[in-house]
Amino acid sequence: MEIILTRETDKYMSLDKRVKRINNIKPNLVISLHANGHEDKNESGKEIYIGTDK
Protein backbone atom coordinates (compact mmCIF):
# COMPACT_ATOMS: atom_id res chain seq x y z
CA MET A 1 0.00 0.00 0.00
CA GLU A 2 1.22 3.49 -0.84
CA ILE A 3 -0.19 6.61 0.80
CA ILE A 4 -0.23 9.78 -1.31
CA LEU A 5 -1.37 13.13 0.07
CA THR A 6 -3.24 15.45 -2.29
CA ARG A 7 -1.83 18.35 -0.31
CA GLU A 8 0.79 18.70 2.42
CA THR A 9 -0.11 22.13 3.79
CA ASP A 10 -3.27 23.77 5.09
CA LYS A 11 -3.55 25.82 1.87
CA TYR A 12 -6.93 25.51 0.12
CA MET A 13 -7.07 23.30 -2.97
CA SER A 14 -10.26 23.31 -5.03
CA LEU A 15 -12.26 20.13 -5.35
CA ASP A 16 -11.65 20.20 -9.13
CA LYS A 17 -7.85 20.29 -8.61
CA ARG A 18 -8.00 17.46 -6.07
CA VAL A 19 -10.11 15.30 -8.39
CA LYS A 20 -7.73 15.93 -11.32
CA ARG A 21 -4.72 15.03 -9.17
CA ILE A 22 -6.37 11.84 -7.92
CA ASN A 23 -7.44 10.86 -11.45
CA ASN A 24 -3.85 11.34 -12.68
CA ILE A 25 -2.59 8.97 -9.98
CA LYS A 26 -5.21 6.32 -10.95
CA PRO A 27 -5.52 4.74 -7.49
CA ASN A 28 -7.44 1.56 -6.69
CA LEU A 29 -8.83 3.17 -3.54
CA VAL A 30 -9.26 6.74 -2.31
CA ILE A 31 -9.90 7.64 1.31
CA SER A 32 -10.45 11.34 1.83
CA LEU A 33 -10.24 12.54 5.46
CA HIS A 34 -11.45 15.99 6.44
CA ALA A 35 -11.15 17.80 9.78
CA ASN A 36 -13.43 20.78 9.28
CA GLY A 37 -12.88 23.98 11.18
CA HIS A 38 -14.94 27.08 11.78
CA GLU A 39 -14.24 30.53 13.16
CA ASP A 40 -16.58 29.61 16.05
CA LYS A 41 -14.43 27.14 18.03
CA ASN A 42 -17.60 25.39 19.24
CA GLU A 43 -18.32 24.33 15.64
CA SER A 44 -16.29 21.57 14.00
CA GLY A 45 -16.76 18.34 12.15
CA LYS A 46 -15.13 15.37 10.51
CA GLU A 47 -15.89 13.80 7.15
CA ILE A 48 -14.59 10.64 5.50
CA TYR A 49 -15.16 9.85 1.84
CA ILE A 50 -14.23 6.51 0.29
CA GLY A 51 -14.11 5.75 -3.42
CA THR A 52 -12.91 2.87 -5.57
CA ASP A 53 -12.34 2.36 -9.27
CA LYS A 54 -15.18 -0.19 -9.38
Q: Determine the pLDDT at residue 5.
A: 87
Tens-digit pLDDT profile for residues 1-21 = 889 888 888 888 888 998 898
Spatial CA neighbour of 6 closest among 45, 28, 34: 34
Q: Determine the pLDDT at residue 24.
A: 92
Residue 47 exposed, middle or buried by CB count within 10 Å (0-12, 13-18, 19+): exposed
- Domain-wise residue ranges, the chain: 16-52
> 54 falls in which pLDDT band (50, 70, 90)?
low
Q: Determine the pLDDT at residue 30.
A: 92
Q: How far apart are CA 4 and CA 12, in angstroms?
A: 17
Give the 3-state secondary structure of residue 33: strand
Backbone angles phi, psi at 5, to 5 degrees: -90, 135
Tens-digit pLDDT profile for residues 25-47 = 888 899 988 888 888 888 888 99
